[in-house]
Amino acid sequence: MTILLSTLNARYAHTSLGLRYIAANMGALEAQTEIVEFIIGGNTTTMAEKLLAKQPRIIGLAVYIWNIEETTKLVALLKRLAPEVVILLGGPEVSHETESQEIAQLADYVVTGWGDLTVPQLCQQILAGQMPTQKVHVGEQPRLDQIALPYRLYTDEDIAHRTIYVEASRGCPFKCEFCISSLDKTAWKFELDRFLAEMELLHQRGARQFKFVDRTFNLNTQASRRILQFFLDKLAAAPDDPVFAHFEVVPDHLPAALKESLAQFPPGTLQLEIGVQTFNPEVQALISRKQDNDRSAENIRWLMEHTHAHLHADLIAGLPGEDLASFAAGFDRLIAIGPHEIQFGILKRLRGTPIIRHTDEYKLVFDPNPPYTILATDRIDFPTMQRLVRFARFWDMIANSGRFAHTLPLMLSDAPFARFLALADWLYAKTNATHQIALARLATLVAEWLTEQGMEADAARAAIDSDYAGGAIKPHLKRKQAAETASPQRQSRHLAAKTVADSA
């Protein structure tokens, strides 16, 4: 192939929507274009070998926060082995602070921003022998009706074994300063009939799991309801062959019409990712986040009580202006509402985001290495932040895994954050690890901790046994585990799925 489009995904089950957008918009060059996806943690030399074996003239690489280090090594290898091959970079990680990055210096060209049309145009110039003199090209943002949709480029293997990412819109009207989407002025919608026709074709080909990457799915109630109705119709037509849909929603916008649609989904068919981030109004104002906290809490509670949707709520620790007590209060408030999962994230300095304007005033210290995690603030010192990092890891292992559903309420009692932080501290002191702790050992340790907290040993063991037998694993997690079993490798958590040079 003349042109290879490649990236390093976080795990086998993930697919790059961005590469497929680029390939779909190659026009006359599409027949000479091939997508080659790798997984982080693999052998970089082997990746280079596989790419160069295809004798490409151009290699385009999508660069993200999770693959920047390995992709830099890959580019360095490629330029040593085949300096004549043109290396083209795109993606959010190289769309900002470009000149200071080693990977950009190694590559021949970098496309910042939207790459759907700019990457194909640049490839046409290169292949015509018209090598541009400038290295960095600002991506053209076309109207969405000018962009060819990429869904036909999902292979049968993708549909059978991997996540199918889709988007009905791009951009975001909100200005949350920790998020790369804060750079957008608004959200743009793909023409809905055109989009749903593509979803129909995917469904006909066997796709049953659809993960929407739209930043704010529920902004436009009319459009959201039409999309939800598409899935409801599929469920009604074939209840024994259900579809599963994942959407990211803002928590304080849930009009009655949307509630009506959401309430119709049966168990195991709908997941909502709800970005709460913080319940502190002063912190929200500081980071330009508009959110009605009371309405958000009310809506999440309503979803828990009146729908079968699996609710995944996000909180971020380390935001400027938020101390440990404030974060703990927000965590406890969310626990009381009761979403199925709480994703406890640590603030990251994504390139280009306005969050850095608070660096001096709030003494924000970020790790200079990817994923640029916050290390300390004026409110939370480094040792405490490390405790929160361990809290997040153990929370995933114990709470979000679904494996301790019967025991978790006993761990949290009437002071969830304080109790679990104490458990995390204790577990780390016992194991000196936050990874590769066998489930059997973890279960034994949790029972031991409960006993030290004053619980009868037999009662603690009985609670653990009821979970360890597997009966407490949530249905959506059983399905998730089955999908991951088909993956040849397990890798780090996927952070995003956007276009190859889309920093939105």
| Torsions phi, psi for 207 (to 5 deg) | -65, 130
Q: How far are the Cα atoms of 112, 113, 367 from residue 136, in angstroms, in the given order?
A: 7, 11, 26
Nearest to 25, CA basis, from 16, 33, 14: 33
- Tell me whether residue 378 is exposed, middle or buried, using C-beta atoms within 10 angstroms of its C-beta: 0 to 12, 13 to 18, 19 or more: middle
pLDDT at res. 495: 36
Domain range 3-144, its CATH number among 3.40.50.280, 2.160.10.10, 3.20.20.140, 3.90.550.10 = 3.40.50.280
Using 50, 70 and 90 to split pLDDT, how confident is the model at 185?
Answer: confident
Find all residues with CB under 8 Å of 138, minimum gap 6, and list them.
111, 112, 113, 118
* Apex 271 CA angle, 336 and 172, nearest 5: 95
Model confidence over 434-484: pLDDT tens digits?
Answer: 999 999 999 999 999 999 999 999 999 999 999 876 444 443 344 344 433
* Apex 421 CA angle, 418 and 427, nearest 5: 140
| Torsions phi, psi for 502 (to 5 deg) | -100, 110
Model confidence over 62-91: pLDDT tens digits?
Answer: 999 999 999 999 999 999 999 999 999 999
Mean pLDDT in the chain?
92
pTM above 0.85, yes or no: yes
Nearest to 335, CA basis, from 413, 388, 270: 413
pLDDT at res. 487: 33
More confident residue, 183 or 324: 324
Residue type, 334: L
pLDDT at res. 469: 63
- The H-assigned helical ranges of 62-175 are 68-81, 102-106, 118-127, 156-161
CA distance 129 to 137: 17
Q: What is the mean pLDDT of residues 340-353?
A: 96
Q: What is the mean pLDDT of residues 148-171?
A: 97
Task: Find the radius of gyration of the CA atoms of the chain.
Answer: 23
Residue corresponding to tokens 């993960």: 211
- Percent of the chain's residues with pLDDT above 90: 89
Model confidence over 368-418: pLDDT tens digits?
Answer: 999 999 999 999 999 999 999 999 999 999 999 999 999 999 999 999 999
- C-alpha of 296 from chain center: 21
Using 50, 70 and 90 to split pLDDT, how confident is the model at 10?
Answer: very high
pLDDT at res. 90: 98
pLDDT at res. 474: 42
Nearest to 198, CA basis, from 262, 260, 147: 147
Find all residues with CB under 8 Å of 394, minimum gap 6, and list them.
420, 423, 424, 427, 428, 434
pLDDT at res. 251: 94
Model confidence over 267-323: pLDDT tens digits?
Answer: 999 999 999 999 999 999 999 999 999 999 999 999 999 999 999 999 999 999 999
pLDDT at res. 483: 37
CA distance 109 to 255: 46
pLDDT at res. 29: 97
Domain edges within the chain = 3-144, 154-380, 403-485
Residue 253 above 50 pLDDT?
A: yes
* Apex 315 CA angle, 313 and 317, nearest 5: 165
Domain 3-144 and domain 154-380, same fold? Reply is: no
pLDDT at res. 488: 29
Superfamily of domain 154-380, CATH level 4: tm_1862 like domain (3.80.30.20)
What is the residue-wise DSSP string for 377-408? -SSS-HHHHHHHHHHHHHHIIIIITSTTTTTH
What is the number of alpha carbons within 13 Å of residue 155 lying toward its C-beta? 12
Model confidence over 97-129: pLDDT tens digits?
Answer: 999 999 999 999 999 999 999 999 999 999 999
Nearest to 268, CA basis, from 212, 211, 225, 308: 308
pLDDT at res. 468: 73
Model confidence over 205-215: pLDDT tens digits?
Answer: 999 999 999 99
Residue 489 above 50 pLDDT?
A: no
What is the residue-wise DSSP string for 218-238? TSSHHHHHHHHHHHHHHHHH-
Cα Dmax for the chain: 77
CA distance 280 to 285: 9
Residue 492 above 90 pLDDT?
A: no
pLDDT at res. 182: 86
